[in-house]
Amino acid sequence: MDKSGLRSGVALEGSSLMRMCATSGILALLVLAHAGVAQVRDEDDFLSLSELPETFPSDPPEPLPHFLFEPDEGYIVKNKPVNLYCKATPATQIYFKCNSEWVHQKDHTVEERVDENSGLVVREASIEITRQQVEELFGPEDYWCQCVAWSSAGTTKSRKAHVRIAYLKKSFEQEPLGKEVSLEQEVLLQCRPPEGIPAAEVEWLKNEEIIDPAEDRNFYITIDHNLIIKQARLSDTANYTCVAKNIVAKRRSTTATVIVYVNGGWSTWTEWSPCNSRCGRGFQKRTRSCTNPAPLNGGLPCDGQAIQKLPCTTLCTVDGVWTDWSKWSACGTECTQYRRRECSNPAPKNGGKDCEGLVLQSQNCTDGLCMQSSLFQKSTEPKEQSALGVPSAPSSDDVALYVGIVIAVIMCLFISAIVALFVYRKTHRDFDSDIIDTSALNGGFQSVNIKTARSADLLTAPPDLTNAAAMYRGPVYALHDVSDKIPMTSSPLLDPLPNLKIKVYNSSGLVTPPDDLGGDFSSKLSPKVTQSLLDNSDSLNLRSQSLARTRDPSCTAHGSFNSQGGHLIVPNSGVSLLVPAGAVPQGRVYEMHVTVHRKDNLRPPVEDIQTVLSPVVSCGPPGVLLTRPVILTIHHCADNVHEDWLIQLKNQLPMGEWEDVVVVGEENFTTPCYVQMDSEACHILTETLGTYCLVGQSIGKAAGKRLKLAIFGPVSCTTLDYHIRIYCLDDTQDALKEVLQMETQMGGKLLDEPKTLNFKDSTHNLRLSIHDVPHTHWKSKLIAKYQEIPFYQVWSGCQRTLHCTFTLERLSAATTEISCKLCVRQVEGEGQIFQISSTLEEEVQCIDTSLMDPASNITTLMGPNAFRIPLSIRHKLCGSLDAPQTRGNDWRMLAHKLNLDRYLNYFATKSSPTGVILDLWEAQHFPDGDLNELAAVLEEMGRHDSNLPSMTSEH
């Protein structure tokens, strides 16, 4: 506290002055002199007071007061005053000051005591603040009070304690609404408590019992006081109430009833029953029940039939019936005759019974005159011989056996002769082989002698198809495709056989000897054609892609620049190229361009822990000479980029590979460029034009990247299905512009304003769900309760137009309006809720889509008009600040004031550090850089020798 304040405090009361003076021996003597004590002393003794020392060696210096207790924040509830209390030691006086005015002593309650341990004086003070005092204060700041303590060493002030009138309004800003949800569906109950001071605390009641998410993890209370039931259970059917309370009052919202219903589900079908008809046409059936599960709480019954019937036909059984007996056979040698019958009148069918009885009957046909037993004995005796002693002729059965054996022997001999003939001809075949060098077999190839066509008939002779075994079986190279293949003459495949002659067919199918492909033929080709045949195919593809990009004005800007420099801007993409004055050598003109590449296959490959943070941007022409760095500005989607990220700048080589250029924060003298990271954009200072992209690696789980969420639907809907597309994009201007252009071509429109979501590196997926669909008019075709996009698919950033679709079906063609909510959130993270309300008829777009218009902005600025700082002023600033100053107010202080001093060595290596810093300032503040702010910075540096302040008035 200053001396004037101390005088004001002393003036409050004479007694306070007496107490302050009593602490010093000298001041005590002065007080006694004023009281008349000096009258009893002589004049010499009084004058001797001036000779006393100011301090005594026995009295140590008294320290500054320090507060043992500082006043706390206070709230006035109704008309009850607030008591503010403070305590300090050592303190000779202690008072309160409220709103910069001292509180009168009579309004204080002061107590004094001596600390037994330290022996120092401890003073306590308290005051009361009434509601009237707070209400009488007018001004932007709340009512506050501060405690001030004195000692002989000086004063000490406590922190400010604010006093506010506490209240809590009666009406909730948003109350929860009842819902009917299916089992395992996610439920969102929203609650915005009434306005109040202090801010109300919110808790949720389920059937009048407090919900604790720590005990039941199926509940989740968001930071904005909404209640989420992750998976609705039957036990979650209840009345939910949002309760808001502070020190003044407690408010209850209207009760929201959540009913968890279960739609009925069919059990499995039973087996088919047997056909109900034993013979002929009938039917069989199978059944199922609506018990898997049974419908509950108003859930829909099962859709379909509980019984299925199928027609069936059962084949009738037919029992077998005997035919009539046949006639008796002739009487045999055994004096027996036979007759038979068949079980075929009808035969048994389809499981019918067989006939019962004998199939064959026999009887004696001689009425007993023939002795069957003797005949049987004769048949078993040896065969009788002829009169000559030779056995009689064999029976007919024996003759048949002998004939069969003879035929088999003949067939075997015939087959053996055929096999022998075949083997003989095979071993004596002449193949007329023309192999002339068997040494080639050791190399794995067969050297052959191929007849060469006459040179005169070379282009007309058909290929020699008879020597197919001698043809080269490798790839055939046509002249028009040489650029995509390795030239045959340098192929390592042919190195082991330098003398091997090979047939090569050109694109027309004619034979061309390899000798004729060289010599005169190659000399006839121009050097340009020869070089084009040998160019790498990847470089050709990159050139063609670059040419294709230049035709799209929405992602490319180009212009001609000389030494005066200029600015290239890709419209509404956050991408630009600043060419400072003097970057292009004097007397030269460059046709320069900057392009945003949108194909996913052109993005750099990343590891699992990395993510792409910016679009791929190329600037050119590559390889040109620049005398000072140009500045390429690119938007990125990293959140809190200076704390949680390790940022790498990557460059694409001409062959297509990607290499690391610099790690932000690890630059050195060999680093070819410098990267200035802002909250939403990065500025790359480089003298090498090429293709660049930012890749990031999170340092911890707190790292996050910004996603832009955009919801689209059809402009008009002529079918019963209505498709809602949700895009999850990197939060860069070009990503949103690309989707807007693509949806316009598809006939889509924005259904709600795009929103930003902070996606954390927590490995949790992105969950999308749809809610509050009016079931009387619409039906969701989503089988699951939500959709999820895997974490890595979102985090890697390798897919630019990542999205998913919800399909709703109209129950009636007369329905023309749709209203629902879409919830997009990271599991156990932040989320966004979209309110969709749209008509199905074509209507005027009510959401800003200016990003779709590529011609809405200027793309090329050339010459001095491209820069905010005039060239003459820039030269003066460079001449003034480039030279080191003893006071330090040179280009280094300018970089510090502009927050560009992360790596000063980069600027120090340039011929004009100030010029590069001003170029970077131009890129950062394009297009509306405030010259007044730059003038104020120079004013703070104490550089009054620049004309920037006067120049700002002209602009």
Greater confidence (13 vs 795) lies with: 795
Please say whether the beta carbons of 251 and 239 come within 8 A: no
Question: Quick check: 483 pLDDT over 50?
Answer: no
Question: Quick check: 887 pLDDT over 70?
Answer: yes
Q: Cα–Cα distances in Å, from 647 out to 635, 754, 799, 948?
A: 14, 27, 20, 36
Residues 511-523 have a mean pLDDT of 37
3-class SS of residue 490: helix
Query: To the nearest 10°, the Cα dihedral for 288, 291, 292, 295?
Result: 130
Please say whether the beta carbons of 93 and 80 come within 8 A: no
Give me the half-sphere count of Cα atoms (radius 13 Å) on the Cβ side of residue 489: 8
Question: What secondary structure does DSSP assign to 656-674, as a single string?
Answer: S-EEEEEETT---TT-SEE
Retrieve residue 135's tokens.
């209400």
Provide the pLDDT confidence category of residue 852 given band limits of 50, 70 and 90: low
Give bridge partners of residue 532 from the DSSP assignment: none
What is the predicted pLDDT for the residue at 420?
87
- Name, in order, each residue with C-beta under 8 angstroms of 138's C-beta and a sequence gap of 6 or more: none
Cis ω for the linkage preceding 346 (within 30 of 0) = yes
Determine which of 34-38, 182-186, 949-953 has the lowest per-residue pLDDT on average: 34-38
Give bridge partners of residue 729 from the DSSP assignment: 708
Determine which of 202-216, 529-543, 636-650, 757-771 has the lowest per-residue pLDDT on average: 529-543
Place of tokens 């609650």: 191
What is the predicted pLDDT for the residue at 952?
52
Amino acid at 45: D
3-class SS of residue 484: helix
Provide the pLDDT confidence category of residue 822 given band limits of 50, 70 and 90: very high
3-class SS of residue 400: helix
Residues 371-400 have a mean pLDDT of 46
What is the predicted pLDDT for the residue at 287?
93
- Cα–Cα distance, 743 to 755 (Å, whole number): 17
Tens digits of per-residue pLDDT, 152-192? Answer: 888 999 999 999 888 888 899 899 999 899 888 999 999 99
What is the predicted pLDDT for the residue at 853?
52
What is the predicted pLDDT for the residue at 240?
94
- Cα–Cα distance, 60 to 54 (Å, whole number): 12
Question: Quick check: 13 pLDDT over 70?
Answer: no
Amino acid at 764: H
Residues 744-750 have a mean pLDDT of 87
Residues 309-335 have a mean pLDDT of 86
Question: What secondary structure does DSSP assign to 425-483, as a single string?
Answer: HHHT--------BGGGGGGTS-B---PPPPSTTTTTSPP-GGGGGGS--S----GGGGG
What is the predicted pLDDT for the residue at 712?
92
Q: Most confidently modeled of 65-74, 423-432, 523-532, 790-799?
A: 65-74
Residues 257-271 have a mean pLDDT of 91
Tens digits of per-residue pLDDT, 195-229? Answer: 998 889 999 999 999 999 999 999 999 988 999 99
Question: Quick check: 565 pLDDT over 70?
Answer: yes
Element containing residue 456 per DSSP (H, E) = none
Q: Most confidently modeled of 312-316, 712-716, 723-727?
A: 723-727
Element containing residue 818 per DSSP (H, E) = strand 817-826
Using DSSP bridges, classify how beta strands 704-714 and 755-760 pair: parallel, antiparallel or unpaired.
antiparallel
Amino acid at 102: W
Tens digits of per-residue pLDDT, 919-945? Answer: 999 999 988 888 888 888 888 888 765
3-class SS of residue 370: coil
Alpha-carbon Rg for the chain, nearest whole angstrom, is: 52
What is the predicted pLDDT for the residue at 518?
38
Residues 425-454 have a mean pLDDT of 41
- pTM of the entire predicted model: 0.46
- Cα–Cα distance, 559 to 621 (Å, whole number): 11
Please provide residue 737's backbone torsions phi and psi, each rounded to the nearest 5 degrees: -65, -40
Provide the pLDDT confidence category of residue 362 given band limits of 50, 70 and 90: confident
Nearest to 740 by CA among 617, 847, 612: 847
Retrieve residue 183's tokens.
């089992």
Question: How many other CB atoms sit within 10 Å of the CB of residue 457?
Answer: 9
Cis ω for the linkage preceding 714 (within 30 of 0) = no
Greater confidence (695 vs 640) lies with: 695
Helix axes 14-21, 3-10, angle to 10 degrees: 120
Tens digits of per-residue pLDDT, 109-162? Answer: 988 888 888 888 899 999 998 988 888 877 677 889 999 999 888 899 999 999
- Cα–Cα distance, 16 to 95 (Å, whole number): 11
What is the predicted pLDDT for the residue at 88?
93
What is the predicted pLDDT for the residue at 727?
93
Using DSSP bridges, classify how beta strands 143-151 and 161-165 pair: parallel, antiparallel or unpaired.
antiparallel
3-state helix, strand, coil in the chain (%, to 5): 25, 30, 45
Give bridge partners of residue 242 from the DSSP assignment: 204
- Name, in order, each residue with C-beta under 8 angstroms of 693's C-beta and a sequence gap of 6 or more: 603, 604, 612, 614, 615, 616, 617, 649, 650, 652, 658
Residues 442-455 have a mean pLDDT of 37
84: buried, middle or exposed (CB in 10 Å: 19+, 13-18, 0-12)? buried
Provide the pLDDT confidence category of residue 536 given band limits of 50, 70 and 90: very low
Long-range contacts formed by 401-409: CB under 8 A, 24+ apart: none
Please say whether the beta carbons of 150 and 93 come within 8 A: yes
What is the predicted pLDDT for the residue at 845?
55
Tens digits of per-residue pLDDT, 53-93? Answer: 454 454 567 788 989 999 998 998 888 899 999 999 988 89
Greater confidence (863 vs 31) lies with: 863
Residues 423-449 have a mean pLDDT of 45
- Cα–Cα distance, 568 to 555 (Å, whole number): 12
What is the predicted pLDDT for the residue at 522?
35
Residues 352-369 have a mean pLDDT of 83
Cα angle 835, 837, 843 (rounded to 5 degrees) comes to 135
Mean model confidence pLDDT for the chain: 76
Quick one: what percent of the chain has pLDDT higher than 90? 30
What is the predicted pLDDT for the residue at 368?
64
What is the distance in angstroms between the CA of the first residue and the CA of the last residue of the chain? 46
Tens digits of per-residue pLDDT, 600-612? Answer: 888 898 887 889 9
Provide the pLDDT confidence category of residue 579 given band limits of 50, 70 and 90: very high
- Cα–Cα distance, 110 to 406 (Å, whole number): 146
Retrieve residue 81's tokens.
């005053």
What is the predicted pLDDT for the residue at 460?
36
675: buried, middle or exposed (CB in 10 Å: 19+, 13-18, 0-12)? buried
Cα angle 523, 527, 533 (rounded to 5 degrees) comes to 95
Question: Quick check: 9 pLDDT over 90?
Answer: no
Question: Quick check: 688 pLDDT over 60?
Answer: yes
What is the predicted pLDDT for the residue at 842?
61
Amino acid at 629: P
Give me the half-sphere count of Cα atoms (radius 13 Å) on the Cβ side of residue 835: 1
- Name, in order, each residue with C-beta under 8 angstroms of 914's C-beta and a sequence gap of 6 or more: 877, 878, 880, 881, 882, 891, 894
In 626-690, which ranges are E strands? 630-635, 638-639, 645-652, 658-663, 673-677, 681-686
1: buried, middle or exposed (CB in 10 Å: 19+, 13-18, 0-12)? middle
Question: Quick check: 267 pLDDT over 70?
Answer: yes
Q: Cα–Cα distances in Å, from 267 out to 274, 288, 295, 312, 904?
A: 21, 6, 12, 25, 75
Nearest to 659 by CA among 604, 584, 730, 590: 604
Tens digits of per-residue pLDDT, 898-916? Answer: 999 888 889 888 889 999 9
Provide the pLDDT confidence category of residue 440 given band limits of 50, 70 and 90: very low
Give bridge partners of residue 683 from the DSSP assignment: 633, 676
Please say whether the beta carbons of 337 and 328 come within 8 A: yes
Please say whether the beta carbons of 343 and 321 come within 8 A: yes
Question: Quick check: 107 pLDDT over 70?
Answer: yes
Provide the pLDDT confidence category of residue 255 given band limits of 50, 70 and 90: very high
